[in-house]
Each structure stands twice: as structure tokens, then as C-alpha cells.
Amino acid sequence: MAKNIPVVQKVLSGNDEIAAQNRQLLDDYGVYGINMMASPGAGKTSLIEKTVQYLRNSLNIGMINGDIATTFDAERAQKAGAVAVAVNTGGNCHLEAHMIRDALAELDLSEIDLLIVENIGNLVCPAGWTLGTHKNVLVASIPEGDDKPYKYPGMYRGVDVLVINKIDLLLYIPFDMNRFKQGVEILNPGLATFVSILSDGGRVARLDSMDM
């Protein structure tokens, strides 16, 4: 008689399960999803506006905008040329997969190529909630200080791309770029890192191509 073999399986939590369904839905429609995270005021919405303006002629862009109380950012994305859905979390400090599922139901996915999710401004818990998007992008900014990778390791560890915004402010604000880069490298070796240049219309360049 065959002995019962114990099978150990990772049981997906409720959130992870819904996130996997979201991912499947995006894949079925050929939609590429990006989850943008940052602290409040880092410049997520401005970067999204610029991205939509640059890409709107070649890609149809959908936007899911997480906000605690307003639809300001969704309106800005809409104005820039995206089809936007606002998710008001009613005080919740991060987006969860079921909120994305409900928002996706409001979008015509057959008409969308790129989906940008703007998460709630917060460097703590958004990192712990998968949404079903393909890539996690973190927007950092110079005024936040060079110590943030050390203070919010969970966020810096979990992202696929880092954009350092407001790089022009290095001229005015004490920020040790080497200290910042070392902190990132310990947590997320080789992380693809870009800078966004305000004075150049928000142009984005690779950090390793810059002289700093």
C-alpha cells in the first residue's frame, strides 16, 4: 500500500489569490501593469502625467488611482490622456488586490495596452500587498533625504525599478548620493535606477549615465 506522502504547498493568502487572478486577467488582455509607489509628495502623479503625455500617441494607457479621499490625481491623469478610475480607500493607507479587481471591472481592458496603478503615498505597507501588476516602481525624491533606503528596507527590497525624482534639487538640499546608492545596493543589488530631471521637462535618464 502506498504511503501517504505529505505535500507542502504555499497556500496563497486571500490577497495573493485575488492578485493572481488580476494578473491572469491582465495577461489575457495583453495589458502590462505597473504599480507605482512612493511617499506623499515624491512626485508620482507628475511623473505619471509626463509618462502619459509621452506615450499616449503610441499606447492606450489606463490608470487606477489610489487615494484616501480625493480624485485629484485621477483627474490629472485623465487630463493627460489616460483612461482613469479612482479608488477611494476611505482612509486605508495602501491598495489591496480586491480594490484593483473592482477597478479593472470599470475599464475596457481590450482598449488598454499599459495600466499604471498609482498607490497610496506611503513607504511602509504598500510593499506588502501584491496587486497583480507586472512590475513595482518606486519613486524616491531628493527632499526625502538619503537615509530612506535604510529606514524603509521593505519597500526598497521589493521593487523592480527606482526613479529618483527632483534630481535638480541636489544643488540646494544636502543629500549624499553615495550613501543613498549604497543603501539601495545592499537591499536590492543592481536595481535599475533612473533620475527624473525637473528642469528638463521631467526627462528621465539612467542614473549610471549621469556624472554624480
Interface positions with Mg ion (CB under 5 A): 44-45, 73
Report in angstroms how near the CB of residue 116 gets to Mg ion at its nearest.
11
All three cell numbers of 113: 495596452
Please say whether the beta carbons of 157 and 189 come within 8 A: no
**Closest approach of Mg ion to the CB of residue 65, in Å:** 8
Site string for Zn ion, 93-132 (x = CB under 5 A): xx------------------------------x-------
Helix, strand, coil: what percent of the chain each, to 5? 40, 20, 40
Q: Compute the least distance from the CB of residue 50 to Mg ion, in Å.
A: 13
Q: Which does 45 bind (CB under 5 to 8 A by kind): Zn ion, Mg ion, none?
A: Mg ion
Tell me which residues in 76-95 interact with Zn ion (CB under 5 A): 93-94
* Number of Cβ atoms within 10 Å of the Cβ of 172: 9
CA dist., res. 85 & res. 64, Å (int): 5
CB within 8 Å of 212: residues ≥ 6 apart: 170, 177
94 binds, among Mg ion, Zn ion, none (CB under 5 to 8 A by kind): Zn ion
Per CB under 5 A, residues contacting Zn ion are 93-94, 125
